[in-house]
A and B are shown apart, each in its own frame.
Chain A
Amino acid sequence: MRVAVIGAGVAGLVTALELAERGVAVELFERAAALGQQACSWAAGGMLAPWCERESADEAVVTLGRQALGWWPRRYPGTRVHGTLVLAPVRDAGELTRFSARTSGFERLDADGVAVLEPDLAGRFRQGLFFEQEAHLDPRLAMAALAEALRAAGVPIHYGVEADETALDADRIVDCRGLAARDQIGELRGVRGEMLVLRTDEISLSRPVRLLHPRIPLYVVPRSNGHFMIGATMIESDDRSRVSARSAIELLSAAYALHPAFGEAEIVELRADVRPAFPDNLPRIVEDGRILRFNGLFRHGFLLSPALAGQAADRLLASRELPDADYRQRRHA
């Protein structure tokens, strides 16, 4: 069986690699000329935080998302399992109570506990929640690592090709185009997100920090060389225009509230993109003839891709009469 995967965002890359690892002949098609240029995954936070996400997401995000914690470290060694720290300003302590009532898998911290985990935040917060099992990664490096793994596995990635699903020479197709597949998938909508990247040497963090706030919830994800990803707005719109001044002000002031050192940081990047989502904000795999449409990862691209790509691969392989010997061997290895 030969499979064509369309779209080299996180969904397409993970699906192609999952299939290749199971011994399927795969090719990957990407409309952009280079990795990430037109993928909303490029703007992602890269938090593997299923327990935190439960605050506003369905239980399925926890059960499916846990699989990511095993999947990513084996494919991308830069994955850091340092947990997530959730904080709230003193005046919004009620937000922390609410967050803890919705989630599980955390330990409560007092001011000393926060200081032990993140010394640079010492004295700034009186209480926090620590989700020890969660992880984070740099989405761009992780995507590059998957592209490299695909190359090593002999999977061709065709950049700059707008694949025509009716003409592709393949037995099966997995459509991972995100919002670009909207005409083929009813109910898919866009949810705009805006993020920025700051650089400063005045503060260092070891793990993603979420700062709860009734109006402007914020997360800060540390990346290498003093870079911090600050995110992200959630706006019911498919407008892809550049970051609005208001959103930038809100994100920056929330970052400043987390630590004044961010006030002195360089603004390295401002980016807006649109997440594909179904009405329940959960991803789906939809059968459409020889095509499987895998879409709607919403804000959970890196978190839910492994589980969904596994399901897509299971479906494709189940449609074959017998898995080949190679695949069986691998599976029982």
Chain B
Amino acid sequence: MDFYGFIPRSRLFLGTAQYPSPAVLQRAVEAAGVDVVTVSLRREAGRLGGGQDFWALIRGLGVRVLPNTAGCHSVKEAVTTAQMAREVFGTPWIKLEVIGEADTLQPDVFGLTEAARILCAEGFEVFPYMTEDLVVAERLVEAGCRVLMPWGAPIGTGKGLNNPYGLRALRAHFPDIPLVVDAGIGLPSHAAAAMELGYDAVLLNTAVAKAGDPAAMAAAFARAVEAGRLAFEAGPMEPRDMAAPSTPVLGRALLG
């Protein structure tokens, strides 16, 4: 599975906001062996493109940069931010966020599909931040998206996978599209659960940035993602109701 032709070594993608310092961010990226990070342009840009220093630090991490349109509430804002991101980072990649609701930061799926259509037509490689809705997913694929990023739970809540059924259905519907659980992950066990569902990667920010020791937490997430993926590939057992002893029980009636 590749992300627009790129095969990352790590299936953990990290956000770059809210760390105590850029130095701590760098240690987290190194500790997790991450090679894709996402960075917000909208707020840092200011009105005069004043975010250059921070962007230089991000470029200095030596990893693939997935710029995002976090904080955009309209198609126009998102498209403009994506165009600016392409100039700043010299990449066609864009994590597309069009926020529809201020309290939950839920994606506006209508604006999202429209923005995705515009950006794909302009040659962008779009990573849309979406709900787990199958119909929205279809529309995004029609628009040209070759990666889908459903939420686990609202951004920054750390609640894990709110709708494992919906995420499983999405996986089953799109066996050939790389799927990334983006947002809502609070614990390494949430990340492992997403990977056990057969997701291709996990993208998170707050759970690492706001941890007491972000580098250690990043390493914990990296291992959880690896464990979840390995488990998925290994073929998990099916749960069943009747206990089945793992060693034979001798001297008892088999049917009682």
Contact = CB atoms under 8 A, between A and B. Distances in A.
A156 B5 CA distance: 65
A213 to B, nearest CB: 12
A279 B212 contact: no
B54 to A, nearest CB: 4
Interface residues of A, number: 23
B231 interface: no
Contacts of A241: 46-48
Interface stretch (A25-33, A71-79, A127-135, A230-238): A230-238
A94 B36 CA distance: 30
Contacts of B23: 279-281
Contacts of B53: 189-190, 236, 238
A300 interface: no
Nearest to B212: A102
Contacts of A56: 20
A236 B48 contact: no
B43 interface: yes
Nearest to B158: A94
A223 interface: no
Contacts of B54: 189, 236-237
B20 A236 contact: no
B247 interface: no
A279 B21 contact: yes
Contacts, number: 59
Contacts of B26: 279
Contact of B212 (A101, A237, A238, A277): A101
- Specify the main secondary structure of chain A where it touches its partner: loop
B52 interface: yes
A162 interface: no
Interface residues of B, number: 22
Interface string B35-50: 0000000011111111
B57 interface: yes
Contacts of A282: 21
Nearest to B21: A281
Interface in B209-242: 210, 212
A236 B156 CA distance: 19
A203 interface: no
A98 interface: yes
Contacts of B43: 235
B100 interface: no
Interface in A194-237: 214, 235-237
A238 to B, nearest CB: 5
A98 B51 contact: no
B22 interface: yes
A239 B48 contact: yes
Contact of A235 (B46, B48, B49, B52): B46
B57 A279 contact: yes
A57 interface: yes
A281 B20 contact: yes
Interface of A: 56-58, 98, 101-102, 189-190, 192, 214, 235-241, 244, 277, 279-282
Interface of B: 20-24, 26, 43-54, 57, 156, 210, 212
30 contacts: A56-B20, A58-B20, A58-B21, A98-B210, A190-B53, A192-B50, A214-B156, A235-B46, A236-B44, A236-B53, A237-B44, A237-B45, A237-B46, A237-B51, A238-B50, A238-B52, A239-B46, A239-B48, A239-B50, A240-B50, A241-B47, A244-B47, A279-B22, A279-B26, A279-B57, A280-B21, A280-B22, A280-B23, A281-B20, A281-B23
